[in-house]
Amino acid sequence: MTKIKNFRISLRSREIARLLKNREGIPTTPDLEASIEQAIKESKRFLETAALFTTLSKATAQKTTPLLLTGPATAVSLIAVTVGPKLEEERAAALAANESLRASLLAALQEEALHQSIQFAVKLISEQAKEEECDLSALSRAEDVSLLPPLAALLGIQRIGLPFDGNAPCLPPYARLIWTLWTPASKSSSRHSDASARQAVVTA
């Protein structure tokens, strides 16, 4: 089990603008872009990043989790991340003050912060998988009531400050729990990785 707190993430203003446009129908304008940049600067006071993750062999996962590891999967990594409650509290305060645009902006910023926190953990796990000559599957989010309680309990998400009631399973909006499967790397992907590594050396 690995726990990492207060790691740095880089929030992308363009992605936050995209979320606002796609989810809220808010067009991107110079004023909005300026507001996003200001919110990113302010967010440093509110973000409290933390990640908790572990990797289980197929045999262990089948005994201790409800996940079904079929086909070539050899292991599964479970990941819980949080950006802390302060940003969500700011969003709630904006809603209470009828500042709908700011509330939407903070919600999009929080979504981007969670995405970047997940990517931080996945990058570390992918390095471990590469050493074992494995690839990682697409990420799956644990939301189903049959999956969330046992996975949250196994990880012990309270260790990164996440409240959790097994009788009313629901993560707070400032947290995510996901998993990714390990599968043996194909020869083609291995050759691609080797070529990429050589290219990186050449261009470095």
Q: Is the pLDDT of residue 142 over 90?
A: no
Summarised one tens digit per residue, pLDDT across range 24-46 is: 999 999 999 999 999 999 998 99
| Three-state SS letters, the chain | CEEEECCCCCCCHHHHHHHHHHHHCCCCCHHHHHHHHHHHHHHCCCCCCEEEEEEEEHHHHHHHCCCCCCCCCCEEEEEEEECCCHHHHHHHHHHHCCCHHHHHHHHHHHHHHHHHHHHHHHHHHHHHHHHCCEEECCCEECCCCCCHHHHHHHHCHHHHCCCCCCCCCCCCCCEEEEEEEEEECCHHHHHHHHHHHHHHHHHC
Summarised one tens digit per residue, pLDDT across range 148-177 is: 889 999 999 999 999 877 666 788 999 999
Summarised one tens digit per residue, pLDDT across range 102-140 is: 999 999 999 999 999 999 999 999 999 999 999 999 999
Fold annotation for 2-203: NADH Oxidase (3.40.109)
Q: Is the pLDDT of residue 187 over 80?
A: no
Summarised one tens digit per residue, pLDDT across range 64-103 is: 999 988 889 999 999 999 999 999 999 999 999 999 999 9
Q: Is the pLDDT of residue 192 over 70?
A: no
